[in-house]
Amino acid sequence: MTPTRKRRLIVISLVLAAVAVAAGLTVLALQQNMTYLFSPSEVEIGRAPASARFRLGGIVLEKSVKRSNDSLRIDFIVTDRFKDMPVEYTGILPDLFREGQSIVATGAMHDGRFVATEVLAKHDETYMPKEVADAIAKAKAKARKGAEARD
């Protein structure tokens, strides 16, 4: 092998190694920043990560909103109409937040409750995030299969 050819091979190897390292770091960073959406039923059966951030989607249960008198803390329950999940949020809620409305909250589980860092509310009466609608549809299908199996 000539010195020029050997030098080219070394340079190409270093470039390929650098590209591989950059691609690996990019994939790692993207995985750490991804937040998946789960319904309360999915959280209940353990599909959601135990301590990592994820999004919880569902409907704010009627008569479940409790506001603290001395802080911005708000406790409420998110439901997919099959399972309920208590949520704690400290901050200012969106203007459209109310009981019986679809929301998506970002946060993590702590001591059996979902502690939200961000709450997003739907923008009109007919809109429901696709992920939330899909999660509710899956929960309904499972409930139907369970009822049919018992019969």
> What tens digit of pLDDT does each residue of 60-111 get?
999 999 999 999 999 999 998 889 999 999 999 998 898 988 899 999 999 8
Query: What gap in Å lies between CA 109 and CA 54, rounded to an integer?
Result: 9
Q: What pTM was computed for the model? A: 0.66
Query: Can you give the pLDDT at residue 52?
Result: 82
Query: What gap in Å lies between CA 20 and CA 30, rounded to an integer?
Result: 15
